[in-house]
Amino acid sequence: MGPSRFDTVHHAEPDSFRQMLSEFAADKSPKKISLAGGMFWDEEGKIAKMDVVEKATKQLGPHIWERHGYLPTQGHASFIRQAQNLVFSEQLVQSCLSGIGPRLTSFQTVGGTGANHLGTLFLARNLRPRRVWIPHQTWEGHSRLWQRASDFGSRGQEALELRFYPYHDATNNCLDFQGMIGVLEQESEPDDILLLHACAHNPTGIDPSREQWEAIANFCSARNIFPFFDMAYQGFASGSFDDDAWAIRHFVHGGHELCVAQTFSKSMFLYGERLGALHLVTGSTDAAARAQSQLSRLQRDGISSPPAFGANVASEIMSNPELRGEWQREVGMIHKRVMTIRKALVEELTRLGTPGEWDYIEKQVGMFTCTNLTLEQIDLLKTRYHIYVRHSGRLSIAALANRAAVTYVATALDTVVRETSKSHRCRVTIPGLGPRDISLKTSAADALPSQS
Ligand code: PMP
């Protein structure tokens, strides 16, 4: 073939996560284990299924094929109503006096990524904020999606600026609350957007306490900041859907306008079905109607209408009190299982006497734990033990399916930490983020705020 009109197209930057997945798939070792992804695995190493999802799918039986026509642009009506109740509670949505129902507009989306995508596009175009504040660290999609949205919704010549606020105190393995509020107080301005993880923060597993949430809500009111909640793990932080939604409901009670990006990928193990929702709470019913018309336009142009299968199943579960109860119990059990794995990993590392502090793994919540592993250690884990860890040092606790996997990973961690413990660490100051301890053989994620 001769030259192509696409010869001048540049290669896009490779996606390191996708590359790691391909490497993992090509790895022939029977010992291989991926701690990189965000899915649950059963004891036999297969993708885990939820009993209640199987039951609801069976219950729908042949009806599922009667319901696979195109959904409306906004999505499956019953699913949307139930998804709203899950986030905000039925009482908050429907109460006659203080209910947000008429001021709430919601769209079914293509998973949590689609919810973030729709939300960022809508806000960039319609609020035209000067800046968005993103936690360091965070789910890597946030920077990409906000960057993309900023290309669509510029304020004339002024591009939307992505700024990072301190979140993870890597030295003490806790929330850097003072750093967070300090930077926001000094550098944010009215009408900025503040991105917050509603619960089970990815990747750190560290959430603000209720008092800290109250302080964040007060700060947003005082500075007139727009909060954008991403809620990918409802139920995984505490085992209770309601407790995990506390922060969002607190903001709503405080009269905030806000957005919530929600996904059922994790809370129903519906990963590939791509089921999520975007909710927008506005200050008036008129604003909700206007916003709804704009969101409708974006949704119609982007995907026309969302996928039906997952919405049918989720709606069946959430609208049937018996199944809804079973689902809550199952998520509660998953939460317990994750806490048990965390405990087992800490016990094993303590038994081995692995250098360093590991107790924090037990204090964190949700699927992930954020370690200070260096690039050198991560590389050794892969080449010698066929254990795949993301460059950010994030481990998926949910991937440790059984006791043997915990022992294998702990032993590997013990060896690589001992071997490399002479690697020097030093303190650097990252502009806007303050001091950080990093290894001289550092990972890109230690140095760059936008990695997850
Ligand atoms: N937000 C956060 C915080 C996440 O962790 C994830 C998934 N890892 C998503 C959004 C994307 O969700 P989904 O897989 O449903 O697109």
- pLDDT tens digits along 139-183: 999 999 999 888 765 555 578 999 999 999 988 989 999 999 999
Ligand 1 in reach of 112 Cβ (< 6 A)? yes
Q: What is the DSSP string of 106-160?
A: EEEEEHHHHHHHHHHHHHHHHT--SEEEEEES--THHHHHHHHHHHHS-BTTBPP
For the CA of 113, the closest atom of ligand 1 is: 16
Q: Mind listing the domains of the chain with CATH numbers?
A: 16-49+328-447 (3.90.1150.10), 69-319 (3.40.640.10)
Q: Tokens representing 116?
A: 């973030």
Q: Please work out whether the CB of residue 262 comes within 6 Å of at least one atom of ligand 1.
A: no
Nearest CA to ligand 1 atom 1: 232
**How do 275-281 and 258-263 pair as beta strands?**
antiparallel
Please give the structure tokens belonging to residue 196. Answer: 């917050």
Question: What letter represents residue 79's amino acid?
Answer: F
**Lowest-pLDDT choice from 16-30, 186-200, 239-253:** 16-30
| Inter-residue contact 396 to 427 (CB < 8 Å) | no
pLDDT at 426 over 90: no
pLDDT confidence of residue 448 = 41
* Residues 435-448, mean pLDDT to the nearest whole number: 47
Tell whether the model's pLDDT for residue 83 goes beyond 90: yes
Report the chain's mean pLDDT, rounded to a whole number: 90
> Between 254 and 100, whose confidence is greater?
254
Q: Is 230 in the pocket of ligand 1 (CB under 6 A)?
A: yes
47, 139, 365, 368: residue to mutate for ligand 1 pocket, most atoms within 8 A of CB: 139
Mean of the pLDDT values across residues 209-215? Answer: 98
42 noted as active-site residue: no
Under 8 Å between Cβ of 231 and 262: yes
Percentage of the chain surpassing pLDDT 90?
A: 78
Q: How confident is the model at residue 451 (pLDDT cuts 50, 70, 90)?
A: very low
Which pLDDT value is given to residue 450? 37
Whether ligand 1 lies within 6 angstroms of the CB of 452 is answered as no
Contact criterion met (CB below 8 Å) for 140 and 450: yes
The Å distance, Cα 332 to ligand 1 centre, comes to 20
